[in-house]
Amino acid sequence: MSKTSQAAGLHRASLAKLHELDAALELMYYGWRGMTLEADDYLAKQGLSRPHHRILYVVARRPDIAIGALIEILGISKQALNRPLNLLLERKLLTSKRSPEQHRSKLLRLTAAGQRIEQKASDRERKVMRQAFERAGASGAAAWMAVMEAIADSN
């Protein structure tokens, strides 16, 4: 469920660097791992995992989103969404209601319990980021964001 636990995995910096930028590649990998590690542990304790969190995260920021729009934002198929979404509905972390005028669409919303879990999971990720930004200072944080934007937009 989680790639975490004792899989301390790669003790960073144990590999020879063949290229100058190898350190950057590895930092991206370990950075992603480091940011999500605690959140994944928390989610696993709730019987949830990353895809559930992604759904909760998006719905929290787009209340009354329709299923089709959610599928687009997540970039997965309807069928892949189906299982985790139904679990969240069964667990009453999400509600779906038909829209008044657009009766074809179902609108998704977090319940109070869903909000709590979304917040706790995302908080764990934000905590890691906040600590790193505090160490780096405001200018370091801004530089990090600028580099990440350049990478994200490189497609």
Report the alpha-carbon distance of residue 135 to residue 126 in Å, rounded. Answer: 14
CB 151 within 8 A of CB 134: no
Minimal distance, residue 72 CB to DNA, in Å:
9
Does residue 148 touch DNA according to CB under 7 A? no
- Quick check: 94 binds DNA (CB under 7 A)? no
User: How far apart (Å, rounded) are the C-alpha atoms in residues 23 and 26?
Assistant: 5
User: What is the smallest separation between the CB atom of 34 and DNA, expressed in angstroms?
Assistant: 17
Task: State the binding string over 22-61 for DNA (x if CB under 7 A, else -).
Answer: ---------------------------xxxx---------
Binding-site ranges for its own copies (CB under 8 A): 3, 7-12, 14-19, 21-25, 27-28, 30-35, 37-38, 58, 60-62, 73-76, 122, 125-126, 128-133, 135-136, 139-141, 143-155
**Are 59 and 65 in contact, with CB atoms under 8 Å apart?**
yes
The total of other beta-carbon atoms located within 10 Å of residue 94's CB is 21
**How far, in Å, CA of 55 to CA of 17, rounded?**
38
